[in-house]
Amino acid sequence: MRGITTTIVCILLMAGPVAAFPPVASMVPQLRPEAGAVPVSVERRAPSVEAVNRSLRPILRGTPEARAATPPAPAADPEFRRWIAQFRQRALSRGISAETFDRAFSGVQLQDRVVERDRNQAEFSRTLWDYLDSAVSDTRIANGRAALAEHRDTLNRIERQYRVEAEVVAAVWGLESAYGARRGSTDIISAMATLAHDGRRRNFFEAQLIAALQILQSGDVPPRQMVGSWAGAMGHTQFMPTSYLEHAQDFDGDGRRDIWSDDPTDALASTAAYLRNFGWTHGQPWGVEVRLPQGFDYALTGERTQRGAGFWRRQGVTLADGGPVPDHGDASILLPAGAEGVALMIFDNFRVIERYNPADAYVIGVGHLSDRIAGGPAFRAGWPRGDRALTGDERRELQRRLSAAGYSTGGIDGIIGPNTTEAVRGFQRSAGVVPDGYASLRLLERLR
């Protein structure tokens, strides 16, 4: 299992969701710079900045005054001014026109608040069930059904073209921006320039800034209307600039890929295109809740073990309601809270959602929310609500103690990934407890 077993490690990259940042907008749990929810420990991979903007649409036309290059207003910080001048040369060498650059940087100032948020990302832990209580709350389900009804024609057309279910697209929308209610209002050029200048993650944010300038140069949005989170995520479904270049769509046919406006059409189509481009299979569930028989071999759980439906049926695995497990190709058994919590059979579409955000909690949140929006039931099994999440220090201690006991975790990073999960299983077997790979406080106390 990739990033989250019981806990959602939230390293506030946005101090607000996408990962998970204040639950401002998005319910994304990961360490990815986005706008609003609970950021977690794995950062979304940014598509290559070398991606070519395939749009053939003309530059967005404005008034003659708007088209004229306006020199950037002097920034208050002299070092920032020097950095802008140096970056301008790099941007021009990458094909950004002087007019585009100067319009984009007109009035740009160093954003001290952005630097402060980036440098003060408090690490905290949250259990999966606490996250799902918010991500798949009754209110979010009801709002999702209302949004689906309001945009049914558009979402149906998107589903026909991109072969991604309308409910799945709506669920991503719901977690990323609360169905468009929280898209972020930070000037993207100012924020990306501030973070690139600050230098903590210079290469990443310079890449995003170049991509943002390419978007402006294509004419899809005027500079000051390119807004989003303090860390660069934009629009209804919180695309980073590089993701926008590779996947954004002009679905309404107006000549612009507009993910920022009140009309979510282009943003929803862009999300469907993103999922399709990473291999979404229409008609295949992301996962289903299952029931494991007494005496089940827990060594078979985890994303690394994939078997067909026939194999799992022979092991006695059934749907939560007792029915036969469906055959949608090879599947894995995932126990995000160990043997005492919900058991899931996950399919390839689970891994496609991981490409949007690699935190298991986020994937389960999107998948379960999409099922509930479509009228499906809540999970039948309970969660070990008496457990609390391990802190970052406790996760690192767990890894150190496992490694010292001869069960290698592949490093001490505080992230409960597949190596740590396998180490936990090894120790559990030796201790005579159910080897479900669940990194709990009880396990840590046993190691102590």
199: left (phi over 0), alpha (psi -120 to 50) or beta: left
> In the prediction, which pLDDT does 114 show?
93
Q: Do residues 124 and 205 lie in contact, with contact meaning Cβ atoms separated by under 8 Å? A: no
Q: Do residues 133 and 45 lie in contact, with contact meaning Cβ atoms separated by under 8 Å? A: no
The predicted model gives 241-266 an average pLDDT of: 97
CA dist., res. 179 & res. 270, Å (int): 15
Residue 398 lies in a domain: yes
From 98, 62, 50, select the one nearest 256 (Cα to Cα). 62
Give Cβ neighbours of residue 417 (< 8 Å, ≥ 6 apart). Answer: 1, 2, 3, 410
| DSSP one-letter string for 315-346 | TT-EETTSPBPP-SSSBEEE-TTGGGS-EEEE
The predicted model gives 324-350 an average pLDDT of: 97
CA dist., res. 263 & res. 286, Å (int): 28
Lowest mean pLDDT among 48-62, 92-106, 397-411: 48-62
Maximum Cα–Cα distance across the chain: 77
3-state secondary structure of 228: strand
Q: Where are the alpha helices (DSSP H) in 199-331?
A: 202-218, 241-247, 265-277, 309-314
Q: Which two tokens stand for residue 242?
A: 């590089």
CA dist., res. 193 & res. 197, Å (int): 6
Residue 266 lies in a domain: no
Q: Please report which helix (H) or strand (E) contains residue 125, including its range.
A: strand 123-127
Q: Do residues 421 and 336 lie in contact, with contact meaning Cβ atoms separated by under 8 Å? A: no
Domain that holds residue 397: 392-447
In terms of Cβ atoms closer than 10 Å to its own Cβ (0-12, 13-18, 19+), residue 376 is middle
Half-sphere exposure of 247 (CA within 13 A, CB side): 26
Query: Residue holding tokens 């058991």?
Result: 343
Q: In the predicted model, is pLDDT for residue 282 greater than 90?
A: yes
pTM above 0.75, yes or no: yes
Residue 66 lies in a domain: no
- pLDDT: is 104 or 51 the higher one? 104
Task: Report in angstroms the alpha-carbon separations of 148 from 153, 167, 179, 252.
Answer: 9, 7, 10, 18
> In the prediction, which pLDDT does 415 show?
87
Residue 412 lies in a domain: yes
Query: Residue holding tokens 């390293």?
Result: 11
Average pLDDT of the chain, as a whole number = 85
Q: Do residues 238 and 28 lie in contact, with contact meaning Cβ atoms separated by under 8 Å? A: yes
CA dist., res. 176 & res. 442, Å (int): 34
Task: Report in angstroms the alpha-carbon separations of 370 from 263, 272, 290, 309, 359.
Answer: 21, 14, 18, 23, 17
- φ/ψ (deg, to 5) at 126: -145, 135
Strands (E) across 128-220 are located at 186-187
| Number of separate domains in the chain | 1
Q: Which of 2-16, 47-61, 322-336 tops mean pLDDT? A: 322-336
Task: Report in angstroms the alpha-carbon separations of 227 from 7, 19, 173, 301.
Answer: 31, 19, 17, 42
Residue 441 lies in a domain: yes
> In the prediction, which pLDDT does 382 show?
95
Half-sphere exposure of 124 (CA within 13 A, CB side): 18
Read off the DSSP letter of residue 375. T
HEC states along 344-360?
EEECHHHHHHHHHCCCH
Residue 231 lies in a domain: no
Q: In the predicted model, is pLDDT for residue 181 greater than 60?
A: yes
> In the prediction, which pLDDT does 44 show?
31
Q: In the predicted model, is pLDDT for residue 95 greater than 70?
A: yes
**pLDDT (tens digit per residue) in 190-217:** 999 999 999 889 999 999 999 999 999 9
- φ/ψ (deg, to 5) at 307: -140, 160
Q: What percent of the chain has pLDDT over 70?
A: 82
Radius of gyration of the CA atoms of the chain, in A:
23
Residue 426 lies in a domain: yes
> In the prediction, which pLDDT does 119 show?
86
Read off the DSSP letter of residue 44. P
Lowest mean pLDDT among 74-78, 119-123, 134-138, 284-288: 74-78
> In the prediction, which pLDDT does 124 show?
67
> In the prediction, which pLDDT does 12 show?
31
CA dist., res. 384 & res. 443, Å (int): 14
**pLDDT (tens digit per residue) in 35-69:** 333 333 222 333 333 332 222 222 222 322 333 33
Give Cβ neighbours of residue 82 (< 8 Å, ≥ 6 apart). Answer: none
Residue 413 lies in a domain: yes
3-state secondary structure of 441: helix
Chain-centre distance for alpha carbon 51:
20
